[in-house]
Structure 1
Amino acid sequence: MLFSILECNFKASRITGDLVNFTHALSLLKPEILTEVSYVIASISDPTTPYTNLKTALLKRPQSSVSTRLLELLSKEELGSEKPSDLLRRMKQLLGDKYQPFDIGLFSHIFYQRLPPAVQHSLFSVKAKLSPDELANLTDGFMTTIPDSSVAAITLK
């Protein structure tokens, strides 16, 4: 997808030089990806096509493995200030094409564990009866009724 966006921008800006494309692409890559393709950067065999060589190397590299994605999914990611449905969407994106065959009961449990304890207690009796999407929608609504815990208590004198 990165290359599709880049190439649309190159076309719109009338940028045709492979070296210019290469430097633009490098500026957008995350450091961990740069590390993975540093051998391409260091050993560009044909200096007239560095962008093409970089694109080929990136497209050939394996996507993150299922085990890596599972570890990321299991790592404690806090809900923060977002809605539970946003967290669920991120968790699904993390699994990508592996979401459908993934154990939905386990996935739902992992999602449930990311919810604030007060919400977990309130939804305990219904969590097993709901799909992750239904649980997220119910939780979105439920959390709007809970007072913000970050608001300081008012003390009367």
Structure 2
Amino acid sequence: VNAFSLTLERNAVEVNADAAVEVAITAGNGNYTLQVADNSKATATIVGDKVRIEGKAAGTTKVTVKDSQNKTAEITVTVKPRGLSLERTALTINAGTTAEVAIFSGNGGYTVQVADNSKVTASVVNNKVRIEAKAAGTTKVTVKDSQNKTAEITVTVNAFSLTLERN
């Protein structure tokens, strides 16, 4: 029995994190198996005569396809980082109070930088940006992730509100 060469539609793909791409197996000997070099970057499954690759985290890995005759072919997978998105990009709070803005998507390893620390302080707690208002005015809080993606929150701080009542 003559064995066919194992060939793929393409040998390199780009995919976004949290997205998928398919590569057709154009020739081979059936009973395909897959080996992913780094499962933290991507996963792969056989769907009919296609290799379905799902991006997990930014980086590069290889998927090796093997058939029943031990023929192999390789796909180089480049996973592009997720975009960094926040619950909101503008916030108005009163001095002396605290607010949180959720990080909807990103690549982990979040840090924050405040343009004017006299107005607010900021930190990241459980994938939320925690902003503490100190003094009236406006400033920007920049959030950065492990892939150097950034997003900004414009924070407006109102002066302390004080209500006096007559007796």
Same fold, judged at TM 0.5 (above): no
Short-chain TM bin? under 0.3
TM-score (norm 1): 0.27
Q: Which has the higher helix share?
A: 1
CA radius of gyration, larger in: 2
Q: TM-score, normalised by structure 2?
A: 0.26
